[in-house]
Structure 1
Amino acid sequence: MVRRARPAPDLDPWAEPRGFLQRMGLGVSLSLGTGLAAVGFTGFLAISAMLPGAEPAWGDPVGTDPTELMSADAEGRPVDHPDARIDDPLGQNPLYATGELGEVTCSPPTLDQEDPRSVEVFVHAIADCLDTAWAAYFDEAGLPFSSPNRIYWHDEGHSPCGPFPSGGTAAFYCQANQGLYLGVKDIVAASASSEEPEAYTFLLSHEYGHHVQGQSRMLAEFHALRANADDETADELTRRNELQANCLGGVFVGSAEESLGYQERERENILDDVVRRSDHAGTGTHGSTENGRLWTAHGLDRMDPAACNTWEAREELVR
């Protein structure tokens, strides 16, 4: 359930592999994972290079406010102005003009990370809440929206973006069928069997952030730009994409944290988890630990997609 706050300044059928669960529809639609690939217990590995059409996974310089570093349009209006055009779906998206996500009410069941069924029920409940929150937001923005497909796997399978698990992937988003893919047991292993539900809530919220990008045409523009870019530019575009998903995930969690019972400790757990999933080995696709933390915290605090415009941020904030 969503209570809107103040208004403000863009398949082929495939076989279901053995042991894999699929539902369709709002709360019946399956979707989980968008761009994260887990490596061992420590982090996620980008998989966009391996799976065409798949999105890869996901501090805060003192005194830096990312929204102060975004450019104005040709007529001098800030990019979050209501009159901003969709000519630039990355920098001037209508989502930036709609205001805060609004209070989100979620009541997921208790999580037992050692019970795959409990994990599955928990993430379905969070996904239902994400569906409701973002559908209402897109409606207010005057944009079409459809919930993603949730595909939760227990054994090996195949998606339009390739086989899973692949390269240690625990979760990923496949734009080809708007599918959020999640390994029910794999995400627990990738999170060091964490008992903290906020770790799984944010992982899913990040992945859902890629679906938000897709529904608002950001992903299509991102893929078009990256297809014609050199390696260095492609990596920067990927970082901007992933850091925005961090921020959008933070927007949802910040809007729902009261009903979820999350306080400062849970926030720190989320930020610590983001740090573990940031670039540590020179991969250059998910952002530094400092910037991963910065954009996530910004989303948690602002609860407004306009605060997540990584595409107009200065380069040092998306390294």
Structure 2
Amino acid sequence: MVSPSPDAGAGFWSERPGFVQRLGLSASFTLCVGLAAVGFTGFLATSEMLAPAQASWSGAHPLGAGGPDPEPTTAEAPLTDTGGDPLLDNALYEVGELGEVTCVVPELDADDPASMEAFVHAVADCLDQAWSAYFAEAGLEFTSPNRVYWYAEGHSPCGPFPKEDTAAFYCQANQGLYLGVEDIVSASAGADRPEAYTFLLSHEYGHHVQGQSRMLAEFRSDRAEADPETADELTRRNELQADCLGGVFLGASGASLDLGARERANILDDVARRSDHGAERTHGQASSARLWTEHGMDRRDPAACNTWKADGELVR
């Protein structure tokens, strides 16, 4: 195993909640993350030793380019028993609005990788703060995701990265929030708008929220037994809920992030750009993605993100 270096420039480093890897010239790296015994996995050794697990992939066009990898072969027990159906009647729906969140983020220079890394770290810090407090209020256990920010090719339990048009993804197997510090710029057409990157990270964090509240485990169980058409619909409900949960965070933190009408329009345009196109049927049409993202921003309540109860017309 490669030991983290105290010098960020040396290639590898770790800091802040979770486990952060910075990649240097090496084309792959080793992750060792000790998780709780009741977590999604017991212990993560080298990624090549584990079967590919499910990931939510976020790229330029569409969001989730490449689709989820095969289901893991290892058992993954839920972190918390929330009671009732985890999708339809989750305890996360009972708390109410996510309270106002104050985020302190640095100025962003999208052309400077160091600036981008500092920016996404600050946004992730704010996401940790907001959702950990919300889970505590709901009486649910919560562990912040492991942050893995890449600069070069590597492997996760969910497969190699980057994939074509892939900028970020969430890997349930090790609760890893993966993000290509330089790739997210090219995947966003070189946008210099901070709100585009904030939402991308918030969407992937939404999958972590689903995982911590047992929704991902239930979704995967249901999808495994479904026919292809139904499986695609379940996947859309899952992705659109992550859009909505990302919107909830932006709605709650928008004042501190200076998200006005112009920034809101940019976010919705970016969401539409990353939605399903052509034969892709796993992330929702542009109209659906915009609807759920905007709904989350307006309501600021995870209960408003219950896509599992929504009419089929709203999750196309």
| Bin for the TM-score computed over the shorter chain | 0.7 to 0.9
Distance 1:30 1:90, change over 3 A: farther
The match for 1:38 is 59
Pair 1:23 & 2:23 matched: no
The match for 1:72 is none
CA apart distance, 1:15: 9.5
Q: How far apart in 1 are the matches of 2:15 and 2:220?
A: 26
CA apart distance, 1:43: 3.6
Q: How far apart in 1 are the matches of 2:120 and 2:200?
A: 10
Partner SS, residue 56 of structure 2: coil
- Identify the match of residue 208 of structure 1 among 184, 205, 223: 205
Runs of 5+ in structure 2 lacking a partner? 22-54, 73-81
Pair 1:268 & 2:265 matched: yes
Paired residues, number: 270
Kindly indicate whether the alpha-carbon contact (under 8 Å) linking 2:62 and 2:277 is maintained by their aligned counterparts in 1. Answer: no
Kindly indicate whether the alpha-carbon contact (under 8 Å) linking 2:56 and 2:68 is maintained by their aligned counterparts in 1. Answer: no
Kindly indicate whether the alpha-carbon contact (under 8 Å) linking 1:91 and 1:312 is maintained by their aligned counterparts in 2. Answer: yes
The C-alpha deviation readout for 1:235-283, integer Å capped at 9, x for no partner, is: 0000000000000000000000001111100000000000000111121
The C-alpha deviation readout for 1:19-55, integer Å capped at 9, x for no partner, is: 86553552x5449xx723314xx443344443545xx
CA apart distance, 1:170: 1.3
1:209 corresponds to which letter in structure 2?
A: G
The C-alpha deviation readout for 1:125-164, integer Å capped at 9, x for no partner, is: 0000000000000000000000000000000001111111
- Identify the match of residue 248 of structure 2 among 221, 232, 251: 251
The match for 1:313 is 310
TM-score (structure 1 length as normaliser): 0.80
Q: How far apart in 2 are the matches of 1:116 and 1:310?
A: 36
Runs of 5+ in structure 1 lacking a partner? 1-12, 54-84
The C-alpha deviation readout for 1:176-221, integer Å capped at 9, x for no partner, is: 0000111111000000110100000000000000000000000000
Partner SS, residue 303 of structure 2: helix
Q: How far apart in 2 are the matches of 1:218 and 1:19?
A: 39
| Identity score, percent | 63
Q: How far apart in 2 are the matches of 1:312 and 1:145?
A: 24
Distance 1:233 1:280, change over 3 A: same
The match for 1:65 is none
The match for 1:68 is none
2:69 corresponds to which letter in structure 1?
A: M
CA apart distance, 1:14: 9.5
The match for 2:29 is none
The match for 2:276 is 279
